[in-house]
Amino acid sequence: MSHISKIELEVRDLGVLAQACERLGLELQRDRTTFKWYGQQGTCDHRIRVPKADYEIGIRAKDGQYELVCDFFDRELAKALGPQGGLLKQAYAVEKTRLEARRKGYSVLEQPIETGLRLRIRVA
C-alpha cells in the first residue's frame, strides 16, 4: 500500500533546488499547491514534476526551510530520485557547493566516478 514519505534533505534555497531538478531532468513548478500521489492530491507550496511518473513531489515550507514529500510507490518517480531520494540529494549538494564556491571566486570541476561525482574546488 502506498504512503507519503519525507525525503531527508535540508532545502533552504528553491533556486538551488530548481537547478538540481534541471540537472536530473525534473521540473520544479513554483506556486503549485497540490501534488499527486496514490489516488490522492496532497497539499504543498510548490511541486516537482517527474517525467513519465504519475505521482509528483510536494514541497512544503516549514520552519524557514522546505520539506519534500512523495510516494515512492511510483516506480518512475523512485527511479528518477534514486533510493530514498539519493540522486536528488546529491544533485542539490552539487548545485549548492557550486553556488557557494562561485560566490567566493573559486572554480569547480566535476568528475564522474563509479559512485556518483567528485567535485574539485580550485582557489583562483
Q: Are strands 40-43 and 34-37 parallel, antiparallel or unpaired?
A: antiparallel
Give dist(CA 34, CA 98) in Å, integer. 31
Give dist(CA 103, CA 23) in Å, integer. 20
Grid cell for residue 79: 527511479
pLDDT of 123 = 87
Q: How far is CA 85 from the centre of its chain?
A: 8
pLDDT of 117 = 84
Q: What angle do CA 23, 68, 39 make, to 5 degrees?
A: 105
pLDDT of 63 = 93
pLDDT of 2 = 63
Q: Which alpha helices (H) appear in 1-124, and where do they start and end? A: 14-24, 75-81, 86-103
Give dist(CA 51, CA 67) in Å, integer. 21
Average pLDDT per 10 consecutive residues for the chain, totaling 124 residues: 85 97 97 95 97 97 96 95 94 95 93 88 85
Q: Are strands 46-49 and 27-29 parallel, antiparallel or unpaired?
A: antiparallel
pTM of this structure: 0.91
**Dihedral (CA of 45, 41, 48, 92) sign:** positive
